[in-house]
Structure 1
Amino acid sequence: MKKHKKEHHEEHIDETWLIPYADLLTLLLALFIILFASSQVDEKKYAKVMQGLNSAFNGGVSVFEESDTLSIDDISVNDVKNVNENGQDQNQALNDLINKEKQDMEAIKKRLDTFIAENGLTLQLQTNVTSDMLKITIQDYALFDSGKAVVKPEAQKLASIISEMLSMYPDYKVEVAGHTDNIPIKNNEFDSNWDLSSKRSLNFMKYLLRSNNINQARFRSIGYGEYQPIDTNGTLEGRAKNRRVEVNIIRNTIEAKTKTIIP
């Protein structure tokens, strides 16, 4: 009789645990490298990397993705002192930047309010500081003739004043937004309120950019048409308020969305 060799079947050990273990070792290695080099690394890059690591550990965006809730990378060396040298953590540095931006917005608002009062423009211009921007609202009749997008000559002085103030605060982005009421417009120049609001915002922005001290990369214009009213369109007064141009000076940090960076 033939002898049958007894076959032995090896049982494979479950090695799936090696994947998370390897990931953990990689993260620890990256952390030790960062800690070792933290005394020499650029402050802005350090803040950005630490934000990414914290987000990764807490289920947020990864190190290689950008977050739209907080602009840590906008913290400049001039605004934030070296964390290691001064013993400040990133949360304190962020609070300092928030306070600085508050002061900047209030300073611009104060200067504009003085100009508005001295020139009797209180019915045409309003300023308002919110948690994320300084909003300068200009009624359309102060800038344009009805149904037109050509900036009036007398409004060019206003653009020059605003431009001068913006040049003093080069760290902020600026949005120039056009708005209309809900009365349809259709003439040889404009097919819709979208076209009218977009052209008005663009034309006024061009006057803001005439100063040589302005970084044009900071600016954008946008037309919202009739779709962001601030009052009723059921009355003449309400429609007049809705027809406006807004110059929005955007803060880099938004208090309402700010959260702890390092637990």
Structure 2
Amino acid sequence: MAKCPKCPPPGAPAWLATFADMMSLLMCFFVLLLSMASMDVQKFKQIADSMKNAFGVQRLIQVDQIPLGTSVIEQHFSPGQTQPTPLEEIQQSTQQQTEQLDESPDTMERAKQQVIAENLQQIADQAEEIKDRLKVEIDQGLVTVGTKGFRIVIRINEKGSFPSASAILQPGFEPVMDKITQSIAESHGKVIVAGHTDDVPIKTAMYRSNWELSSSRAVTVVQYMLEKNQIDPQRFLIEGHADTHPLFPNDSQQNRAANRRVEIVIAQDEALLKDQDPSLRVIQTDSFPDKPL
């Protein structure tokens, strides 16, 4: 049978094999690029071993001892210095700041208690300084000094300070008031001046009740300290309690004399005091101090 002149020669064209090889190599090349976009040591090792076997570059090296573990990248490539992207730097910085601010409740509570203890120690030291300044007056029974929480309590007894049923300072008590004024001026915080009386009713031309008498005595003390121009008037708070907050039961002359007093309370860090003891929601000047006065 005659050969058909229009039929193509049998088999694939000669150029097709070369083209197919080139396409295969290009596909392998892009596959390698894709696989190395995110470096995985295990996958890279498998690919490297496969490439060495495929291209016949595997070598056998005689060794006398067991080789130590080395990095696959270090064996085949020179080390390169990687530079983090701006996004990675921002994320890393944010995570570090978050870790620094992430404190456990126990750590925060310990830090809080440490601050409270330091403030209490400072108040105790300041109270001791006031005691040293008023040592003579304390020995004479004119004043007493103590602490209660975050407050320093300077208690002016009626003895030597005010005549009976009067809110006028006795002559000779000014040096005591000068020392107290100096102590208040050197301190910081709110100054609560509260007057107290016993339970014996009073009704005179000047004072209609113990309420007026206790308030007038507190005003007299504040007015004396303000005349020295050493203390900011906004620090003062005046209270008159009459006989509603006695230190002792009014059942003897000695107890009644102790209840007639003017208390000067230096309240410092009152917010911490409230947070430490929820029951203390207001400033109180009539309860017994933490330390004996």
The two structures have a TM-score, normalised by structure 1, of 0.59
Fraction of identical pairs, as percent: 26
1:13-52 pair list within 5 angstroms: none
Can you list the C-alpha shifts for 1:221-259, whole angstroms capped at 9, x where unaligned?
Answer: 11000000011211100100110010111122217427x
Whether 2:225 is the aligned partner of 1:205: answer no
Gaps in structure 1 of 5+ consecutive residues: 1-35, 40-82, 259-263
- In structure 2, what is the Cα distance between the partners aligned to 1:166 and 1:198? 20
Asked whether the 8 Å contact 1:173–1:251 carries over to 2, the reply is yes
Please name the residue that 1:195 is paired with: 212
Rounded Cα–Cα distance in structure 2 between residues aligned with 1:141 and 1:92: 45
1:226 and 2:243 matched: yes
Aligned residue for 1:186? 203
If you compute each CA radius of gyration, which structure gives the higher value, 1 or 2? 2
Q: Which residue of 1 aligns with 2:173?
A: 155
Distance in structure 1 (CA, Å) of the matches to 2:142 and 2:213: 19
Which amino acid is the alignment partner of residue 245 of structure 2? Q
Q: Which residues of 2 match residues 1-263 of structure 1 at below 5 A?
A: 91=109, 94-95=112-113, 97-119=115-137, 121-170=139-188, 172-252=189-269, 253-254=272-273, 256-257=276-277
Partner SS for 2:134: helix
Secondary structure of 1:136's match? strand
SS of equivalent to 1:184: coil
Aligned amino acid, residue 142 of structure 2: Q
2-structure distance, mates of 1:126, 1:108: 14
2:248 partner letter: D
Q: Structure 1, residues 71-126: CA drift from partner, whole Å, max 9, x if none? A: xxxxxxxxxxxx97xxxx86566445423432332233212222333346442221
Write the distance in 1 (CA, Å) between the matches of 2:166 and 2:111. 47
In structure 2, relative to structure 1, the CA distance for the partners of 1:106 and 1:192 (3 Å cut) is same
Corresponding residue for residue 59 of structure 1: none
1:169 to partner: Cα distance:
2.1
Q: Which runs of 5+ in 2 are unaligned?
A: 1-93, 102-106, 279-293
User: What is the CA distance between 1:128 and its match in structure 2?
Assistant: 1.6
Taking the aligned partners of 1:245 and 1:131, their CA distance within structure 2 comes to 19
Letter in 2 for 1:110: E
Counterparts of 1:94 and 1:189, CA distance in 2? 50
Label 1:139 to 1:118 Cα distance change in 2 as closer, same or farther (>3 A).
closer
Distance 1:225 1:159, change over 3 A: same
Query: Which contiguous aligned blocks of 4+ residues in structure 1 show a shift greater than 6 angstroms?
Result: none
Structure 1 101/209 Cα, relative in aligned 2: closer, same or farther at 3 Å? farther
The amino acid that maps onto 1:98 is I
Paired residues of 1:164 and 1:211 also in contact (CA < 8 A) = no
CA distance in 1, matches of 2:186, 2:118: 14
SS at match of 2:227: coil
Rounded to whole Å, the distance in 1 between the matches of 2:119 and 2:170 is 32
TM-score (norm 2): 0.53
